Chain A
Amino acid sequence: MNEFLQGGLYGGGIIVAIMSSLLFVLWTERKMAARMQSRIGPTFTDPLGFLQAPADVLKLLQKEDIIPEKADRALFNNAPLLGATVAIAGAAVVPFSATIVGADLEVGVLYLLAVGALGVLPVFAAGWGSNNKFALLGAMRAIAQSVSYEVPLVLAALVPVILAGSMKLSDIVAYQSSHHWLVVWPFFLGIPAFGLFMLAMLAESNRIPFDIPEAESELVAGITTEYTGMKFGLFYMAEYLHTVIASAVASALFLGGYDGPIAPGLWWMVLKTGLLVVAIYWLRWSLLRFRSDQLMALCWRWLVPSGVVLVVGAAVWVVFAG
């Protein structure tokens, strides 16, 4: 029972903290994108535009709820809730400092991959439930892309598991703080695995340069075409949550997590996660999108075999040199 209460309390704190950080993430992204395009970004709500994101939330809360008459109501109405929940669920096993962790599972990495794979269900529920051709096409592309990139993602995540000898995320961070961060040593395994992880993660969460499922010039808005108000808001939120949490996971697996000199662990974790999030948005506003067939070919012909080579390489390194 104590365990249950503790999980709930930590969970509440972590979830509220991440969700509030989203307001800051949104602001950073909009301002950054504006500067990159020689605009000034939101200024209407206050001179810095900081209240724009809360204002957007209020707007979404007040919007009329329109359910298409031909939709499958059960799927259509529950998909946003499931999508947001699955996106948050990943944060449960991420150690934000030596003590702040929702549920430090023995099978942390496996759990993360399971949650990641579960993410295709709300997408399909939304696409099929909307009974809209754009939504369905978007959902099918998203699923094909997500399941394909799941494979290199798992293979990249196996490298830290092999080196640390544990699937528990706090063990992996502890291994890195007692040895080296994985991108520092052995860097010939750590840096490619980190790159592969980030690439697969971007594709799995359908971000640019892999955002074909919601290519607005051909698919309107993909799976969110028929959604209004807060149901749309939950999908939108899930997308940002996914980026933030996946960045936190990447920093725990490859960048030493909460390990760092002088400042307390939580600060380091926030700093590393923040830098990765900024890098992702930098990419988003710099690159164009790929074509579907190029994306699939890239994954199955290049990324999967390189992932396998990395895993075998890590194992050989551990057995003969580590």
Chain B
Amino acid sequence: MPSGLALLAFLLVAVAVSGSLLVASKILRVVSTRKEPLKHATYECGEVPTGLAWMRFHARYYVVALFFVLFDIETAFLLPWATIVREAGARGLVAVGSFVVVLMLGWAWATKKGALQWQ
């Protein structure tokens, strides 16, 4: 993998550049010596914060996550075929077409059930 090395170098440079900004701020920033207990409290619009924010989510987020996994796998299957559509020809088209039709039947059912509504 020759270009893998180039990518690795690129990513290292990316980390270094954004990291250097944090280092620069560490050197330049002001440090307060006064003890202010409220400064480090969680911000809740000036009220005294109640409880932690680590709580349960609404179930609709899980439905979205499920749909994402479903359709992301679909596109993962489509990607390799997308590069050889010309070579695969009509036969490949029929194969992929039937796969997509089955998937969209599922989508139509989910729409009818109201699972795609954000409620």
Inter-subunit contact B29/A154 (CB<8 Å)? no
Inter-subunit contact A3/B6 (CB<8 Å)? yes
In the complex, which residue of chain A has the Cβ closest to the Cβ of B54? A131
Binary contact track B7-37/A, C-beta < 8 Å → 1, others 0: 1111111110111011011101111100000
B40 interfacial by beta-carbon distance below 8 Å: yes
Inter-subunit contact B72/A154 (CB<8 Å)? yes
A47 interfacial by beta-carbon distance below 8 Å: no
Inter-subunit contact A165/B85 (CB<8 Å)? yes
- Pick the interface stretch among A5-13, A193-201, A258-266: A5-13
Bound state CA distance, A10 and B65, in angstroms?
37
Inter-subunit contact A65/B25 (CB<8 Å)? yes
Binary contact track A169-213/B, C-beta < 8 Å → 1, others 0: 000000000000000000000000000000000000000000000
Determine which of B26, B54, B83, B85 lies in contact with A319 in the assembled complex, contact meaning CB atoms within 8 Å: B85
| Most chain A CB neighbours (cut-off 10 Å) among B53, B79, B84, B90 | B53
Q: Which residues of A contact B44 (CB under 8 A)?
A: 132-134
Q: Which residues of B contact A105 (CB under 8 A)?
A: 3-4, 7
Give the shortest distance, in Å, between B63 (CB) and chain A (any CB): 10
Inter-subunit contact A3/B118 (CB<8 Å)? no
Inter-subunit contact B30/A63 (CB<8 Å)? yes
Q: Which residues of A contact B5 (CB under 8 A)?
A: 1, 3-4, 7
Inter-subunit contact A297/B83 (CB<8 Å)? no
Bound state CA distance, A15 and B6, in angstroms?
14
Q: Which residues of B contact A64 (CB under 8 A)?
A: 29-32
Inter-subunit contact B2/A305 (CB<8 Å)? no
Q: Which residues of A contact B8 (CB under 8 A)?
A: 4, 7
A126 interfacial by beta-carbon distance below 8 Å: no
- Pick the interface stretch among A155-163, A247-255, A271-279: A155-163
Determine which of B3, B11, B18, B64 lies in contact with A104 in the assembled complex, contact meaning CB atoms within 8 Å: B3
Give the shortest distance, in Å, between B95 (CB) and chain A (any CB): 11
Give the shortest distance, in Å, between A318 (CB) and chain B (any CB): 5
In the complex, which residue of chain B has the Cβ closest to the Cβ of A151? B71
